[in-house]
Structure 1
């Protein structure tokens, strides 16, 4: 009887004390704990690169491949060219800190002053609501500023992008920016505030004490069709003259079938063309810089068909139409540009791409021996990116 009681006590002890510890041990072994941030090794490096080469043929008499008219008739109308040879390095120093460097080695083919170095900035991300960027970067002021040139739906950026870049609002600029994203109700909103020297990239110092202040807000109107509305605005001072820039844009992406998608970009910009104003002799301009204003709008529809046949990923058809006037108030000369293009994509995310089409320029007034002259440029462009 004593042996039975002893055996019962042993079983009770086992059930109450030993078995729970055993089960807990089994549970601990089978559960994989999350990887702590401290175990991730930094710095982390990501190398990037882009190669773009093209063949150009101008079919307009006496106009060269760069779009310049020559009344003498001595003109180069066909040429091969290396448009871009970019090498970049993104370095994550921690979960929140990164350094970005980007150079364009193709700039060595001409005078390198103010060229070659493109991105050179540091960024610290506090959270999704706020991040701070400082150095040389592309400030947010439109659709094209947020998209790399290697994945745009045309051969190159628009005319207005480059003209606003000359005036300090777009392209690569030196300064600082605060960016982030918030949700207001069901509408996602991203924002950017920038303060810039406004005199281009790779400058030793600002050209004056004036600065450019700009902001961009993007509202997500439809998640299904990826419809986004962008609003841009900026003010500043250049050589004691007040300047401004405004813009609005909309993007959308519609899935028509399993293989067909259609996306559309529309962008409008207007602002002071102080770059033009200060390039003119004092006797050849008005006293007020506000008399010299640029404005432009473009439409870029793109139809994409998924193929996935061997190495060929997709076929794309696009045709950008742009109206741009560098000084619509005084000495106006409206430029209309048509860019029809067909693109073959190899690999994912434009790893390889072959593009073919035209850049067709029509000016309200053709000015001999200048680039303000109507012409038709045929292009075949090849690119590889990593």
Structure 2
């Protein structure tokens, strides 16, 4: 038995030694939408127009992503991800998304340096092309503006260890916190964040995530905290239910510094953002000719960007129905609605009740 194990390990080592680097892998994503605004005087971007103007329907190219992953040694990889669809906007701070080098010492420690997505919640752990709803949550978008999620420039350490019977994944990140593709940090402050994920029940893929972060922006202290639960229940070989529950709170320093200094308070923590969302996704494996599966999801989200001062919470319900034609979301069509409700409607702003119908098609390759 020992000899067989040794021979197996030796063969594996020889196979690894025979690999010629770099090993290149190219992937891509195409995603487009057709949007129809179903609320009078509200355009497809959710902006109210009291003069009855605005575009109520639109074909939209959301993503045309190309990713190059270069494994340049056994432990080192370089990743570049660009969204060519962002050329339709001012590309100065867009287009380039991931651009990082990752060195893996062992399963317990890997170091990433460059522009990447620091882990601070469930949504940072998977790409947009396998998302269970229409788009990222409103919470994810807002925390990206605050420098905790989305693409940031800095460094991170990640890995997995065992705490007795419980597997623990961790991430510790240090970033500028002012978004992607910036020439310089806009101040001397940095943002430090940590994510811990505990595997509680392997049978149901039940994971508990805890997130915490501190930082400094223009000499003012800021913070962020969060917790999340995720689970995957397989009823049989065809039916499964994926569930996500996530809550976060943070200093809204972007709002704080956008206000007139004479009108705002002295403490940025008087302006706190708080949000929670729940996303169940029911999946049925069809495996019939060209149709692989169908999915039905409905995300509920509550978000208040300043719940202590001038509170105006937003509630969003996003029911979606999806058809998957190739395995692993290789090709799919989604139909759904985005239903927004505000405590107070404000004319000629995006804080206005809205119903939006969406048809979305995507192909990943």
**Structure 1-normalised TM-score?**
0.91
1:9-28 pair list within 5 angstroms: none
Is 2:52 aligned against 1:61? no
Alignment deviations for residues 309-348 of structure 1 (CA, whole Å, 9 cap, x no partner): 1111101000000000000000000000000000001111
SS in 2 for 1:150: helix
Q: Residue 83 of structure 1 is aligned with which of 56, 62, 77?
A: 62
CA distance in 2, matches of 1:86, 1:34: 35
Aligned to 1:228: 207
- 2:160 match: 181
How much has 1:286 moved relative to structure 2? 1.2
* 1:272-291 pair list within 5 angstroms: 272-291=251-270
The structure with more radius of gyration: 1
Question: Hey, what's the Cα distance between the residues in 2 that align with 1:32 and 1:217?
Answer: 36
Cα-Cα RMSD: 1.2
| Counterpart Cα distance in 2 of 1:332 and 1:33 | 60
Choose the corresponding residue for 1:240, options 219, 223, 239: 219
Q: Which residue of 2 aligns with 1:116?
A: 95
**Counterpart residue number, 1:50:** 29
Q: After superposition, what is the alpha-carbon deviation per residue over 1:270-319, rounded to whole angstroms, capped at 9, x for unaligned?
A: 00000111111212311111100000000000100000111111010000
Residues 180-205 of structure 1 deviation map (CA, whole Å, 9 limit, x = unaligned): 00011110000000000000000001
In 2, distance between residues paired with 1:34 and 1:286? 62
Q: Matched residues in 1 for 2:217 and 2:199: separation?
A: 34
Please state if 1:262 is matched with 2:241: yes
The whole-number CA distance in structure 1 between the counterparts of 2:12 and 2:208 is 42
Distance, in Å, in 1 between the alignment partners of 2:12 and 2:94 is 49
Distance 2:31 2:56 in 1: 20
The runs of at least 4 consecutive aligned structure 1 residues that moved more than 4 Å come to 31-34
Deviation at 1:67, TM superposition (A): 0.5
For structure 1, the 5+ residue unaligned runs are: 1-27
In structure 1, distance between residues paired with 2:15 and 2:356: 56
**TM-score, length basis structure 2:** 0.96
Aligned residue in 2 for 1:25: none
Distance 1:304 1:72, change over 3 A: same
Work out whether 1:311 is the aligned partner of 2:290: yes
CA-to-aligned-CA distance 1:228-256 (integer Å, 9 cap, x gap): 00000000000000000000000000011
**Matching residue of 2:112:** 133
